[in-house]
Structure 1
């Protein structure tokens, strides 16, 4: 879409999946978008994501249900784009709660009860479903290239104060993840949730499995095209980005019990990421600053999952501001 008479100059702060998705959505609508970040996209927490469309560590609310619905539809459409890195993959959600939350299945046409004989010990139930599976090493570069093709400008620098953007932007979108509240005077509700993963060679697996109802035994096995992402941890309040060898050993033991075929596979890489958790996602207009601001952060472990719905909501807020 070309320039429009009411186009705004929008600066998006943050080059992770929320920032990039928002930039693409706004640029498609004809706005002049600049993405500012002090780290490269592949150095953000988004790059550590596994990543499966699933609402892990996200708030449960009608608003988030709508974000889930929108994002599922967008990712399902992207699975038809050959180079996007998005695929529709079958797998199993293991449940250990007596009353599991299955609200997410409302958007999944083939979600069915899992065969209890195929579930791990201690599981109460499970769901088999085909979900959008986002191969991050392919998807994030594709998304950034899509933004560039739409005219989005990227600047690698740090913004210390919103006043720095006065005269250069009509609206600022803050999509800074764990640092999202810094430019707004701080946000004590944002808490890091430490996640550690290890990448293994893939012996030919395609089905994913996630077993995340017990935070201290969180386990998932996500086979990608050339490797398998195995996790994980969910440690609230930890800023530790160092690889912990004992944690990795425990992750691999749990994962091999869940999927025996991965036992003994060579380790290809490891990573730690800090999920930006918040009791509620901050997705709203923020007043009292030098420029109009839209906050878009606090997605917990569901940043990729909620990314397109978030981008659509940011665009709706921008349009509301213009009316």
Structure 2
């Protein structure tokens, strides 16, 4: 019998966004007996409306997690079911005058000469990076769980004691809801909104870095193009704001005139789990172990496999 099998545990994962599903996949594939409870199904989580661009972590710990995730995404790129595709794109900033230290975590980085920069930008670089079609990717993760007999049960947990009464090990991946569930005052919603248009033929992505509240960005996923973006701190509304949508369109059209005639096919809103840094630590509630894995803000996709592997390592002890 393998080491993992002899140490298999009953684990309840709370949350079915990209952090919860990835963590559940890691644990199930290492031999643990996993259940998933989630207030919302994967298709209705914030993860489902993310732009899907992988980016490197900006702290030593997050950088390590993002590199683990990059490796996993590289291995998935040949599987059409995963929704994973690598694309070339331009990243620029009107805020930073020097490239960030983590820029070379991207692939095929080529810095722009000053005369190649879009108007108003101080730095820019072309690179190749993973883009993840999140609706398809979340289905892919759900299928990986199903292959291990794990189904997602829609259930609202109002108190961690309710979860610990059901399992000796609980992994809390509830995103912005963790603020109330774990009594963590550091968690706050960071509202994002996207405009979805029919892709007019763009294959490169574009994103402005360093913008605290608003910026231009577009992210191709086949015939679907996601336009962003905003960061609205402390706002809980999930209703699309027509004025914000108009501002997003205006900024993106200024960068890429082809978008002026693109057909708008939808609007999406999500609440990023804002926190000074992601929380990954263990506590005891009664006789149960609770591992918190939340607060990844806008880097949930990028840090997902790294933090999930760390949870798996903690439970292997």
Please tell me the TM-score bracket, short chain as reference: over 0.9
Q: Is residue 2:8 matched to residue 1:10?
A: no
Q: 1:71 aligns with which of 52, 69, 73?
A: 69
* Counterpart position of 2:296: 299
SS at match of 1:34: strand
Count of residue pairs brought into register by the alignment: 316
* Counterpart position of 1:61: 59
Describe the superposition over 1:284-305 as per-residue Cα deviations: whole angstroms up to 9, x where unpaired. Answer: 1123455201100001111111
Matches within 5 A, 1:92-241: 92-100=90-98, 102-166=100-164, 168-184=166-182, 186-241=183-238
Q: Give the TM-score, by structure 1 length.
A: 0.92
Stretch deviating more after TM superposition (41-50 or 284-293): 284-293
SS at match of 2:89: strand
Contact 2:97 2:122 (8 Å CA) reproduced: no
Shift of 1:102: 2.9
- Measured in 1, the distance between the counterparts of 2:255 and 2:205 equals 11
Shift of 1:264: 2.0
- Measured in 2, the distance between the counterparts of 1:111 and 1:14 equals 35
Could you say if the C-alpha distance between residues 64 and 217 of structure 1 is closer, same or farther in structure 2, counting changes exceeding 3 Å?
same
- Measured in 2, the distance between the counterparts of 1:82 and 1:115 equals 36
Q: 1:269 aligns with which of 266, 276, 280?
A: 266
Contact 2:97 2:123 (8 Å CA) reproduced: no
Could you say if the C-alpha distance between residues 18 and 100 of structure 1 is closer, same or farther in structure 2, counting changes exceeding 3 Å?
farther
- Measured in 1, the distance between the counterparts of 2:241 and 2:107 equals 39
Where in structure 1 do 4 or more consecutive aligned residues deviate above 6 Å?
Answer: none
Structure 1: 5+ residue stretches without partners:
none
SS at match of 1:111: strand
Q: Give the TM-score, by structure 2 length.
A: 0.94
- Measured in 1, the distance between the counterparts of 2:286 and 2:261 equals 54
SS at match of 1:181: helix
